[in-house]
Structure 1
């Protein structure tokens, strides 16, 4: 029974991996269930054993993407030995780590032009991640480090705004342009939280360790073409 269960899980994950590849290359709307299952090498009926619709596949991919980020953040939030500033830095680094992990490509659902992916990821981030950040901001307010009367709303606006303006699937940016937007985001976050200038400059510093191909949409497509 365990063997059958493992095979079932593996087949479901295979469908998800193939769907992610095709969504990134062709776009969500242009990818059919037939396309997915033809690439998987299984009958269309197998798809409906695991998923009701193509939309459910996309929602599952987005959920997996967000949940990995959330899991890392929750551990940081519950750490009693860290102050609010330390927690925010760890959380932002964790988000950045996840976004550039899995061989640099596999986690970049948001790096290819695809309206459906962009919208769902953005909504999920605001709904699931902003509340976690707001807990830390509230802690910072109590500690006297941050100054804002709207912790949740500030986090929602910053997360939505920063992720949209730095989304390489929407904007074709050079590395220099991308870094400038991140630096501008640092300034916005500092002003929104009422902290000293330079408090969040570690964000742009992390980009120095990021391979150029992470910010190259063409390279991402070529990578998927080879899979």
Structure 2
């Protein structure tokens, strides 16, 4: 007997199948026929939900980033958490150094998912600075920070962490990483107009400094 599923359920079936296939075979190595066979649907059903394989990829990106950014926004909006701690929790949720999105990030860092990784990087650089900026503005009101350019500061921070601390972008040894972390914090202190050493609590975002 033929199983008839609701449109949203069928759409998720297609995304789940594509996600699994992209992991196993890569985006370029996966054909629409592979997805059709995996889900067990006709080509017309696939194109009813998605215009192309690229469209499926974009929907997967949206699914991943909704999870990552959603966790970060929830933390950023929690005024019961003090500003300094909120910054750390937001960054951890975004998995610059671990956190709620670790499983997702591990997935997209696989070589066969390079395109997905690139697209998610773009989403993060375009969305995360605004999330962090709201916290920085609170910090300015509380006298914790002193900068006339909170958004631009966070844009620089996110762009740097999303490239230099990304193992797929910059090759470095554990020793080189250990040197970059305090240098990064030193420069963030300059950007936010605070005393040298006052943001060293941020070291815990990077664990021991020897982890990827």
Per the normalisation by structure 1, the TM-score is 0.72
Q: Contact between 2:50 and 2:56, CA under 8 Å: does it hold in 1?
A: yes
User: For 1:65-102, what per-residue CA distance to the aligned partner results, in whole angstroms no more than 9, with x for missing partners?
Assistant: 111122222222322333321211221222232321xx
Can you give the 5+ residue segments of structure 1 that lack an aligned partner in the other structure? 216-227
Q: Contact between 2:125 and 2:162, CA under 8 Å: does it hold in 1?
A: no
Change (3 A) 1:36 1:72: same
Can you give the 5+ residue segments of structure 2 that lack an aligned partner in the other structure? none
- 3-state DSSP of counterpart to 1:12: helix
- 3-state DSSP of counterpart to 1:118: helix
Q: Contact between 1:182 and 1:203, CA under 8 Å: does it hold in 2?
A: no
- Which residue among 176, 199, 202 is the counterpart of 1:200? 202
CA-atom RMSD, angstroms? 3.0
CA distance in 2 between partners of 1:168 and 1:20 (Å): 22
Q: Contact between 2:174 and 2:209, CA under 8 Å: does it hold in 1?
A: no
Give the match for residue 108 of structure 2.
110
1:51 Cα deviation from its structure 2 partner:
1.0
1:146 Cα deviation from its structure 2 partner:
1.8
Q: Contact between 2:181 and 2:209, CA under 8 Å: does it hold in 1?
A: no
- 1:1-150 correspondence to structure 2 within 5 Å: 4-5=5-6, 8-96=7-95, 97-100=99-102, 104=103, 106-113=104-111, 114-150=113-149
Q: Contact between 1:68 and 1:98, CA under 8 Å: does it hold in 2?
A: no
Q: Contact between 1:111 and 1:167, CA under 8 Å: does it hold in 2?
A: no
Give the match for residue 165 of structure 1.
164
Change (3 A) 1:68 1:176: farther
- Highest CA radius of gyration, 1 or 2? 2
1:161 Cα deviation from its structure 2 partner:
1.9
Change (3 A) 1:42 1:167: farther
CA distance in 2 between partners of 1:176 and 1:18 (Å): 40
Q: Contact between 1:183 and 1:204, CA under 8 Å: does it hold in 2?
A: no
Per the normalisation by structure 2, the TM-score is 0.77
